[in-house]
Amino acid sequence: MFTAKRLIRSFLIGVWFMILVFPIVGIKIIKRAPEFFYDRVFVIGIITFVLAMLWSWYFEVYKERGVSDGIFSKISQKCSALSEKVTHDKSTAMKLILVLFAAFMVLPLFTSMYQTTVYSLAFLYVMLALGLNIVVGIAGQLVLGYAAFYAVGAYTYGLFYQYFGLGFWVCLPIAGFITVIAGLLLAFPVLRLRGDYLAIVTLGFGEIVRLLLINWADFTGGNQGISNIPRPGFFGIELSPEGSTIYIYYLCLFAAIITIVIVARLINSRVGLALQALREDEIASEAMGIDLRKVKMAAFALGSCWAGFAGVLFAARNSYINPTSFTFMESAMILSMVVLGGMGSIVGVTLAALVLALMPEYLRAFSEYRMLIFGLLMVTMMIFRPQGIIPPAKRKYAPTALKNEENN
Amino acid sequence: MHSDKKPILEVKSLSKNFGGLRALNDVDMHILPKEIVALIGPNGAGKTTFFNCVTGIYVPTEGEVWAGREGEKLKKLNGVAPHDITRFGLARTFQNIRLFSTMTVLENVMVGRHTRTNAGILQAIFRGSHFKKEEQETVDRAYELLKEVGLEKHWKEEACNLPYGAQRRLEIARALATDPFLLFLDEPAAGMNPQETVELKELVLRLREQFNLSILLIEHDMGMVMSLSDRIYVMEYGSRIAYGTPEEIRHNPQVIRAYLGESEDA
Ligand SMILES: Nc1ncnc2c1ncn2[C@@H]1O[C@H](COP(=O)(O)OP(=O)(O)O)[C@@H](O)[C@H]1O
Ligand SMILES: [Mg+2]
């Protein structure tokens, strides 16, 4: 266990980690003067050293015993079994869905208003992640500026309300339409781009939209954004603040459910197959008669419209919006949900969106280290389960010829 | 081969430059209905480039490509996008296999039905009777085609898990799914063992009859080429150096020097 090489390595890792966390943990600005806390940094260094020792020792054992025996691969196998169960066994899946649905239906009765708004936001993330899942997970087009579409949706509601006094239900379809246009506008110039280049351009697009919202202050309200956006009406009845919070909660829940159903149907169709073929091999897709331009446009349009709807709901939920809600961090967060959940997997992405959106609330004590924990989670996942928590379910087909054979 | 049938493919002085390299130089070719034509030549002769120019993946530098179903007027295919050429009825396989590797065997063939089906986004969402009917027809047709190439047992597997020879046959099934009248096979026997090669030959002959196909194939296996083809074109350094029946090609001194001689040395 204590070989010299391992000791030195772990020591270096510990030192490196101390340097890394020093600015976050070791310095506090008190009354405009920095004060240094070396003891905390030292403790972190020691912990890291011990963990590094354990980690590399574990890997040695793990290697000796063969791949199938480690804790991590066991966890991975458990994940696979679970996903197998959820995606292939219809009755288990049904039970799970019913339990979840029932739980979410009664949730607002038992939780505080604050919790209710937190869950509403989590449902919006489900919509966002599933929308991005179409573009990135199914069609394989790496888009890094997805929050821009979210912003377009939210600002559509905000601005249409501010300038024309339009309400929530009118703005919802308008926002869907405008985000689709925005998606197509982005798709058009990037039709010939792939991989890294596409990622860079879409990243730029995200920043452009955000900067536009900040700097076109006369129109968008700049950094202040737009406030006093009304909550959606409930058949003309004025709702109390609590009532409307709960109402928004249910709207978000149903919007998420509708998203799940529609995205699942899209994936299991001719269009879905074409999108997936695009991800696998563009030249072969063309040779199979798929119009690359059309399919890419469809991917962007289908992906962006969910962000538009989610944006409107977000504006209604918060009743104010400003550009800080639509930064690159937001895009990265949504992308992480897709990657962690399992690219192309509806169940996985939904789950990951809920977990990642709710995690910060339940890990409030660690809020300073949120990004650290998050990064650790990402790295661990990429090493041990790169396909995501629950890889996509196989589509099911029943060739008639096969059925006839069975009957005979 | 002096039939009075009109050709379904006519290529007139096709050329393709890659920068300074002339990969295709003034190549002429025609193919008659239900003909099996072979295109042979040493590596780098420009055979795959010829395929790519005819199927629209490359834009030819000079020359014309005309094609049309039997009994119909030929249409000029220069400048037509690859997917439209496929829809028009020209299908192909690839020398370096290009399957949709993480999709199942059945799904690969189903993608081939894309141009012959039309359910769009709204139909996918609302799943009307037309959608369901079309979906089932696609599945059935794909399964049938898998039977044709002997892969129906593997329909649920991922394409990348198939053995090499089976992957080549899957590419053929996928190409057939587009309902072509002209099929381009780029080295279909590459990497196959002798047994598989014999089966492939029988498959090609059977498919021609069954689907009323004309076939252009690039192949290095001389036994297969000689026994399968009605006519053979020989290329070297981008130019067509000879064409004719297998018998004529066998005795063409230029061909023997350029190609057959070389491969006998190897
Ligand atoms: N996309 C391309 N860009 C540049 N050169 C190419 C390209 N494709 C083919 N070539 C060149 O054209 C020549 C013919 O290649 P190819 O058609 O693949 O030959 P074959 O299929 O007969 O073996 C080769 O010299 C090859 O390097
Ligand atoms: Mg070649």
Which residue, B130, B155, B175, sits at the end of a domain?
Answer: B175
- For residue A387, the chain B residues in CB contact (below 8 A) are none
For residue B49, how far is its CA from the centre of ligand 1 (angstroms)?
6
Confidence of residue A18 (pLDDT cuts 50, 70, 90): confident
Is B57's CB within 8 Å of A283's CB?
A: yes
If one counts the domains in chain A, the total is 2
Segments forming the whole domain that contains residue A33: 4-61
| Number of structural domains in chain B | 2
For position B260, what pLDDT does the model report?
Answer: 53
**Range 42-81 of B in CB contact (< 8 A) with A:** 55, 57, 81
Residue nearest to atom 25 of ligand 1 (CA): B44
Residue at A390 is within a domain = no
> pLDDT in tens for each of the 266 residues of chain B?
455 689 999 999 999 999 999 999 999 999 999 999 999 999 999 999 999 999 999 999 999 999 999 989 999 999 999 999 999 999 999 999 999 999 999 999 999 999 999 999 999 999 999 999 999 999 999 999 999 999 999 999 999 999 999 999 999 999 999 999 999 999 999 989 999 999 999 999 999 999 999 999 999 999 999 999 999 999 999 999 999 999 999 888 888 877 655 554 44
Q: Are residues B32 and B133 in the same domain?
A: no
Please say which residue of B175, B204, B236 terminates a domain. Answer: B175
Is B94 part of any domain?
no
pLDDT digits (tens, 9 = 90+) for B202-243: 999 999 999 999 999 999 999 999 999 999 999 999 999 999
Cα torsion B114, B120, B126, B129 to 10°: value is -50
Residue B95 lies in a domain: no
d(CA B96, CA B194): 19
Which residue carries 């709204």 as its tokens?
B122
Residue that is last in its domain, among A61, A79, A108 = A61
Chain A residue with minimal CA distance to B173?
A288
Same domain, A157 and A23: no
Per-residue pLDDT band at A267 (split at 50, 70, 90): very high
Does B208 lie in the same domain as B80? yes
A97 and A49 in a single domain? The answer is: no
Residue type, A83: S
Is B29 a domain residue? yes
| Co-location of B63 and B138 in the same domain | no
Please indicate if any CB of chain A lies within 8 Å of the CB of B161: no
Question: Which comes out higher in pLDDT, residue B181 or A29?
Answer: B181
Interface of A with B in 290-319 (CB under 8 A): 290-292, 298, 302
Higher pLDDT residue, A384 or A396? A396
Q: Is residue A401 included in any domain, yes or no? A: no
Q: Is it the case that residue A161 has pLDDT exceeding 50?
A: yes
- Look at B83 and A289 and tell me if their CB atoms are within 8 Å: yes
Task: Note the pLDDT of residue B266.
Answer: 40
User: For the packed helices A346-362 and A113-132, what is the interaxial angle rounded to 10 degrees?
Assistant: 140
pLDDT surpasses 90 at A32: no
Give domain status of residue B96, yes or no: no
Does one domain contain both A156 and A301? yes
Chain B nearest CA to A230, separation (Å): 31
Pocket of ligand 1 (CB under 6 A): B 18, 21, 23, 41, 43-49
**pLDDT in the model for residue A23:** 84
A184 in contact with chain B, both atoms CB, cutoff 8 A? no
Question: A225-253 pLDDT, tens per residue?
Answer: 999 998 887 776 777 888 889 999 999 99
Interchain pair A273, B83: CB under 8 A? no
| Contact assignment for B100 to A281 by CB distance below 8 Å | yes
Domain shared by B187 and B169, yes or no = no
Same domain, yes or no: A17 and A101: no
Q: Which of A397, A405, A406 to mutate against chain B (most B CBs within 10 Å)?
A: A397
A200 and A312 part of one domain: yes
* A174 shares a domain with A287: yes
Distance CA B182, CA B199 (A): 21
pLDDT of amino acid A96: 81
- Ligand 1 center to B205 CA (angstroms): 29
Chosen from B55, B59, B80, B83 to mutate, greatest number of chain A CBs within 10 A: B83
The verdict on a CB contact (< 8 Å) between A273 and B139 is no
- Report yes or no on A356 lying in a domain: yes
In a domain, B220, yes or no: yes
Residue A50 domain flag = yes
Q: Is A264 on the interface with B (CB under 8 A)?
A: no
Instruction: Pull the structure tokens for residue B79.
Output: 């400048």
Supply the pLDDT for residue B261.
Answer: 54
Of B147, B175, B203, the residue that ends a domain is B175
Does residue A64 or residue B187 have the better pLDDT?
A: B187
Residues B145 and B191 in one domain: no
How many Å separate Cα A290 from the centre of its chain? 29
So what's the pLDDT on residue A382? Answer: 81
A401·B107 Cβ contact <8 A: no
For B77, the domain range is 1-89+180-266
Query: Is A359 within a domain?
Result: yes
Residues B131 and B69 placed together within one structural domain of the fold: no
A242 near B CB under 8 A? no
pLDDT for B264 = 46
- Asked if residue A6 has pLDDT above 90, the reply is no
A131-142, pLDDT tens digit by residue?
999 999 999 999
Instruction: Assess if residue B52 is contained within a domain.
Output: yes
Q: Is residue A320 part of a domain?
A: yes
Residues B189 and B167 in one domain: no
Residues B149 and B184 in one domain: no
Q: How far away is chain B from the Cα of A383, in angstroms, using its nearest Cα?
A: 21
B174 Cβ under 8 Å from any chain A Cβ: yes
Ligand 1, atom 2: closest residue by C-alpha: B18
pLDDT grade, residue A196 (50/70/90)? confident
Band of the pLDDT at A321, cuts 50, 70, 90?
Answer: very high
Report DSSP letters for chain B, one per residue: ----PPPSEEEEEEEEEETTEEEEEEEEEEE-TT-EEEEE-STTSSHHHHHHHHTTSS--SEEEEEE--TTS--EE-TT--HHHHHHHTEEE--SS----TTSBHHHHHHHHTGGG----HHHHHH--HHHHHHHHHHHHHHHHHHHHTT-GGGTTSBGGGS-HHHHHHHHHHHHHTT--SEEEEESTTTT--HHHHHHHHHHHHHHHHHHT-EEEEE---HHHHHHH-SEEEEEETTEEEEEE-HHHHHT-HHHIIIIIHHHHH-
- Using CA of residue B258, residue B261, residue B263, residue B266, what is the dihedral sign? negative
Q: Do A45 and A107 belong to one domain?
A: no
pLDDT averaged over every residue in chain A: 88
Identify whether residues A268 and A362 lie together within a single domain: yes
Q: What is the mean pLDDT of residues A38-52?
A: 88
CB atoms within 10 A of CB A401: 14
Q: Which of B51, B99, B121 to mutate to test the interface with A (most CBs of A within 10 A)?
A: B121
Query: Residue type at A297?
Result: M
Please indicate, yes or no, whether residues B143 and B160 belong to a single structural domain of this protein: yes
Domain at B58, CATH number: 3.40.50.300
B115 CA → ligand 2 middle, Å: 27
Of A281, A292, A302, the CB nearest to B98: A281
pLDDT band at A65; cut points 50, 70, 90: low
Give A399's contacts in chain B (Cβ within 8 Å).
106, 139-140, 142-143, 155
SS3 for A50-64 is: HHHHHHHHHHHHHHH
- Taking one residue from A and the other from B, the number of pairs with CB-CB distance under 8 angstroms is 118
In a domain, A394, yes or no: no
The CATH number linked to A147 is 1.10.3470
Which two tokens mark B193? 């063992």
* A273/B111 Cβ within 8 A: yes
* Res. A69 pLDDT band, cuts 50 70 90: low
Helix (H, G, I), strand (E, B) or coil at A141: coil
